[in-house]
Amino acid sequence: MPNPGVAGQVVTAIETVYGLRFPIGLRAWDGSRAGRSEGPVAVLRSPRAVRQLLLRPGRSGLVKAYVTGHLDIDGDFAVGLRHCRELVAHVRSKGRPSANHWPLLLGLLARTGVGGRRMPVDETRPTIDFPPSILDDTLARSCGYWTSEGPEYRLSDAQHDKLDLVCRKLRLAKGMRLLDVGCGWGSLVLHAAENYGVAATGVTVSPAQCDFVRAQAAERGLSHAVTVRRLAPRDVTDGPFDAVASIETGEHVSDHDYPAYCETLRRLLRPGGQLLMQQTSGGGMFTGSYLTPAMATRPVERTLTQLKDAGLEIKDVMSMREHYVRTIDAWRHALDSSWEDVVTRVGAPRARIWRLQLADNALAFADDNMSVHQILAVRP
């Protein structure tokens, strides 16, 4: 038989050891190719990627190989990632290689020159703060609300429509007081003050965000209506407010602290005041716990129970899952369009983490393994 090259040997080894059909095309640095002949192709850039595929073909091994540049995907990245998910799911079901398979694996590792060296892991430090260059003018890092299929309708439109949806649900009107918990770069407080005449307060722990929101308020002539403070929600003392918003902020609260967080939201509302919470649940296969360990997503049912236990009455729950697929796809397109610039500014490992996280989460939302809901509640 002709020498199948590195790619052929790797595919044969994985199919033998784990009892599967390799789900994606594979190309190696020696020019060899194996696996599927159509669709995206996984590319082994160096022998170190072989170690990850053979010995650790689970999510952490593939993530490390991709983030450090030893493994790549040519073609549609999201489709290629879906095939990698198939591989991971199958490997999970099979468990570790049996003893009689180790000579095959170790022999291939020796032939490809990687030996026993481990891949460095310090380059895969988690980060979830996407760059402003992939965002729209609102700088929102949360799900938009897509109200049109038209070609002229953009992410910016969806984010502004989301802000209007939040304001309408909270029944904001001139003279009311709004608190935005975890206000980010100020899109909601600025929008609500400018378009609904409310006195809007935002709280954030980021000094950069505080400075930015204050500057934006001054530029728009809204300094009299917009206040931003650098503190945690529990330290807000000038309540109660007519309305409180928590837009994808609860995910950054640990399970241990979440009951107290819900109680704080209730305390900050006047009797009859309303809370609008937008919050994700579930997680992606690759990034749900490996790249974003600080995130604490929880099932929507548990969130509703904890809001009720805090003394809030649930008025409405709306799924926005499909809207997040479109939002993330817009971010992915923007990242790919500015890829070289992003890599120059932050380095290839961090840019690769962003690409991986966006594609993984888009698949998770599309497959209903992740979701996002808007929950409207009232303090009786």
- In a shared domain, residues 176 and 92: no
Coil/strand/helix, residue 40: coil
Task: Please report the beta strands in the chain, taking only residues with DSSP state E, as ranges in sequence order.
Answer: 25-28, 33-34, 41-44, 71-74, 177-181, 199-204, 226-230, 241-247, 269-282, 313-319, 370-378
| Per-residue confidence (pLDDT) for residue 1, from 0 to 100 | 41
Between the alpha carbon of residue 223 and those of residues 161, 184, 202, 233, the distances in Å are 24, 17, 13, 21
> Do 21 and 148 share a structural domain?
no
**Judgement on whether residues 84 and 231 belong to the same structural domain of the protein:** no
- Please tell me the predicted confidence (pLDDT) of residue 108: 84
143 and 105, same structural domain?
A: no
Task: Please give the pLDDT value at position 116.
Answer: 46
Residues 102 and 217 in one domain: no
Picking from 285, 358, 280, 277, the residue whose alpha carbon sits closest to that of residue 310 is 277
- Sorted by sequence, the CB contacts under 8 Å of residue 276 that are 6+ apart come out as 166, 169, 170, 243, 244, 245, 246, 247, 374, 375, 376
258 plus 119 within the same structural domain: no
Last residue of a domain, one of 124, 151, 179: 124
Are both 286 and 202 inside the same structural domain? yes
What is the CATH number for 318? 3.40.50.150
Domain shared by 71 and 175, yes or no: no
Say what the pLDDT of residue 61 is: 79
Same domain, 117 and 235: no
- The reply to whether 99 and 179 lie within a common domain is no
Q: What is the pLDDT of residue 191?
A: 98
Whether 234 and 330 map to the same domain: the answer is yes
Which residue, 124, 152, 180, sits at the end of a domain? 124
Q: How far apart are CA 275 and CA 268, in angstroms?
A: 10
Residue 201 pairs with which residues in a beta bridge? 179, 227
55 is in which domain, residue-wise? 5-124
pLDDT of residue 292: 57
If one counts the domains in the chain, the total is: 2
Distance CA 161, CA 174 (A): 19
Task: Give the pLDDT of the chain (380 residues) as one tens digit per residue.
Answer: 445 799 999 999 889 988 889 999 999 999 999 999 999 999 999 888 888 777 776 677 788 889 889 999 999 999 999 999 888 888 888 777 888 888 888 888 888 765 545 545 444 444 557 778 899 999 999 999 999 999 999 999 999 999 999 999 999 999 999 999 999 999 999 999 999 999 999 999 999 999 999 999 999 999 999 999 999 999 999 999 999 999 999 999 999 999 999 999 999 999 999 999 999 999 887 765 455 555 778 999 999 999 999 999 999 999 999 999 999 999 999 999 999 999 999 899 989 989 999 999 999 999 999 999 999 999 99
